[in-house]
Amino acid sequence: MHITVEQTLEMPNAVLFVRKVEAALEAEQKKRQHFYEIVEENKKMEFINGEIIFHSPVRLQHNSATKLLCKLLDTFVIKHNLGFVGIEKIMISLTRNDYEPDICFFGSDKAKNFTSKQAQFPAPDFIVEVLSDSTEKNDRQTKFQDYAAHGVTEYWIVDADKKVVEQYFLQDEQYELLLKAKDGEIESVVLADFKIPIRAIFDETENLKALANLISE
């Protein structure tokens, strides 16, 4: 159940309710500081709604889809000098939570301010999450809401098992589904002219063809 600002203001005990929320969030920040102290470069860890999440090693198909898509995105972004593409261990710190998306893209306006030793980053412009059994709920619910709330313009959810991609675009602070498909092409909104065959995310031969096209264009 989600309580809106309007619903809160209709509550006669609104002030008491908000004070309880503030106290809970203040206590949560202590856990978040502890998270920052124990997070390790070689382990995928996230801080989500007050909980420290340790991620299990991913399956081969998850790793393959992440790697193949990142290769295409990174090549396109580098060729056209559009910003920075991060993979898996880039921590984005939002107002409450800290995530390590599978793939994220920052446009030049943000990326130009990054430093070589930077370990925490703002909300990206574009995020890709590749589903796994342990992350699907967060990818589709908590992250889905949080990414939208913090202005992540484009969000792709990749199902490596079913070889399906869902493409969402931020409209009026909510994500609208633009595409859900396993065949044909997908074209980014944030990265204009980045268009690839969906199969190139899941098939190495198709990926090489798509990569060659991106380089030659």
- Residue whose entry in the numeric block shows the structure tokens 């399906």: 164
Q: Do 135 and 54 touch, CB atoms closer than 8 A? A: no
Tell me what pLDDT residue 33 has: 95
Considering the entire predicted model, what is its pTM?
0.91
Q: Around Cβ 122, how many Cβ atoms within 10 Å?
A: 14
User: Which amino acid, residue 138?
Assistant: N
- Residue whose entry in the numeric block shows the structure tokens 């190139």: 200
**Architecture of the CATH domain 57-216:** Alpha-Beta Complex (3.90)
Instruction: Using DSSP bridges, classify how beta strands 126-130 and 154-159 pair: parallel, antiparallel or unpaired.
Output: parallel
Q: Around Cβ 72, how many Cβ atoms within 10 Å?
A: 20
- Structure tokens that stand for 169 in this block: 């675009």
> How high is the mean pLDDT of the chain?
94
pLDDT at 37 over 80: yes
- Return the H-helix or E-strand segment holding 169: strand 164-171
pLDDT at 62 over 80: yes
Tell me what pLDDT residue 23 has: 83
Tell me what pLDDT residue 1 has: 55
pLDDT at 14 over 80: no
pLDDT in tens, 90-114: 999 999 999 999 999 999 999 999 9
Tell me what pLDDT residue 27 has: 85
